[in-house]
Every structure is written in structure tokens, then in C-alpha cells.
Amino acid sequence: MDGDPSSDVVVVGGGVIGLTTAVVLAERGRRVRVWTRDPVERTTSWVAGALWWPHRIDPVTSARAWALRSLEVYEALAADPDRTGVRMVEGVLGEADLEEATAWAGRRLPGLRAATAAEYAGPGVWARLPLVDMTVHLPWLRQRLLDAGGTIETRTVSDLVSVGAPVVVNCTGLGARELVPDASVQPVRGQLVVVANPGIRTWVVSTGADGEMAYCFPHPDRLLLGGTADDGAWSTEPDPAVAEAIVRRCAALRPEIAGARVLGHRVGLRPVRGAVRLERELMADGRALVHNYGHGGGGVTVAWGCAEEAAALASC
């Protein structure tokens, strides 16, 4: 086996799920190493729009509990947005049902209400939710882990059994498809366009009459425009035609976007599974293997709740 016997836990995977799980473990006193194929700047998490709200994630009951626990953490982190990348921002969930939204999160989000006609041309829900700038949040998570005594090593893992630690935590996302192997993990491609912010301060998520998704997530200096959800698509190259369509759909929602200067393009592959796999098993030699993957487009939404549950499983 390849590893460091001084480590209690090796977390495999350095996206938002892996880093958050490692932070929780390290701050609970475990000696933690993160092994990641890619630095945070090249993970799928770096590309995420990262609005706190469930998107393609099951099981619903567990996801709700994980999400509400994560909401508590993000609300606290929003007190220092420049450092953590988390802000509480208002916006509209287009085509959302107020009764369903209230049932899911109403007790924790008492300000949920129906959107007005001036706010959205159609049925929708107005909400104040955490919006996470992943270009700030992921480096902050990395530093928080290092400050807690954890370490990070860029390396490729081809076999979980070969990871030399008493406890191995599998946070490999789409990589679990080959590594576990788990063929139920499928990519759902998402493309975004980054443009200069012309002064927009609220977000919007919409599914128009044609069924095409559009969203606009504002940060102080830029907007993230999306999006797509292409099942089974593996390409990480931006498609210019898709980018043009994204800008067009978003400009129909917020006319100020038309003509905004394009700053860049992003593509990420969401690791979608029938349900999140968050469970502990024993390897043949008796060591513990904790799985924490398959979060689809909801990784940021449930990261802290899942991390705490995974840390508890790692300590059984």
C-alpha cells in the first residue's frame, strides 16, 4: 500500500466535497491528507454557479437535512464574504412553486414569497440565499484545511485499496465511475459564460416555455450566465453556439446583459447518480472506506451536512 502511516485519514478528491469533508475531519482532531488528481482550480467545483438550492440530488429527505445544515454554515460564513466567498443574495426562482419551496426550506427561510410581476414575468419565488464565489471559497477551504493541520498532495489514485491509511474517504465525484467502479455515476455537462457585471445585484433562475434553463448569478465584478444540463456529455470544451444561446436567454431575462463584455467560458461535468452515496464499508483487510460522492449539481448545497455525516462514519 502507498501512504503515510502518520495519517489517520486520506480523503481522495479535492473538490468542494473532498475539501469540506477534510476540513471537518481535521477540525475534529483527525490527521488528514487530501489526495487530489487536480488542484482546486481545475476541479468541477471551480466551475459551479454555486447557488444554495437543490439541483439534481437525491435522496430528497437526506438531501434536505444536509442542505439545511449547510445553510447554517453558509449564513455564518457570509459575515465575511471577501474572505470566504459566501454572500447572502436575493433573487427569483422562476417557475418555482411557493408552497413546495416553503415546505422544503420555509422554516429556515422565512422571507420566501411569491415574486412580483416586476421581479419576474411569470410564476416564481423570491428568496434570499447563499451565493458562493467558488474562485474564493475553494482556496479559502484549502487554507482552512492547512491551518487545521491537514495536508494536500496532487496525485492520481487508481485503486482505493492501495491508499495506505486506516480510513479512506472517497470524494471523487465523477471519478468514482471508474475508481469504485460505479457505472451509475453519469456526467451532466454544464456550460457557463462569464461576463462583466453591468450593475446587476440579484440572481435569477428560469426555465422558459421552451424548457431551456437560464440563470444569472451576480458577483461584484462579474456575472455567471448559464446554463446547460446535457446528460451523458463528456466534452469539457466550450461550444460557441451554446455560449451565444446562453447569453441570449439571459439577456431576455435581464436586458442589461445584452452587450456585456465576455470575460471567459467554463464547462463542468456534474457527477449525477440515482442517489448520493454516503456510507461506510470495510475493505478486505478490515480498514474503513467511506463513500461520499454522487452529488450531481447540489454539491455546494449539501457539502457541510454531508461532510459532517462522512466524518461521523469515518470515526465509527
Q: Kindly list the structural domains of the chain, giving each domain's residue range(s) and its CATH number in brackets, ordered by start.
A: 2-314 (3.40.50.720)
pLDDT of res. 210: 72
Radius of gyration of the chain (CA): 19
* 21 contacts 308 by C-beta, under 8 angstroms: no
Whether 34 contacts 152, CB under 8 Å? yes
pLDDT at 128: 97
DSSP state at residue 166: S
| C-alpha closest to that of 133 among 76, 74, 204 | 74
Name residues whose C-beta falls within 8 Å of residue 216's C-beta, 6 or more positions apart in sequence: 200, 203, 204, 223, 224, 225, 250, 253, 254, 257
Per-residue confidence (pLDDT) for residue 2, from 0 to 100: 56
Indicate if the pLDDT at residue 42 is higher than 50. Answer: yes
Reported confidence tier of residue 105, pLDDT bands at 50, 70, 90: confident
Q: pLDDT-based confidence at 262, cuts 50/70/90?
A: very high
What is the average pLDDT across 202-216? 88
pLDDT in tens, 67-104: 999 999 999 999 999 999 999 999 999 999 999 999 88
Structure confidence at residue 5 (pLDDT): 47
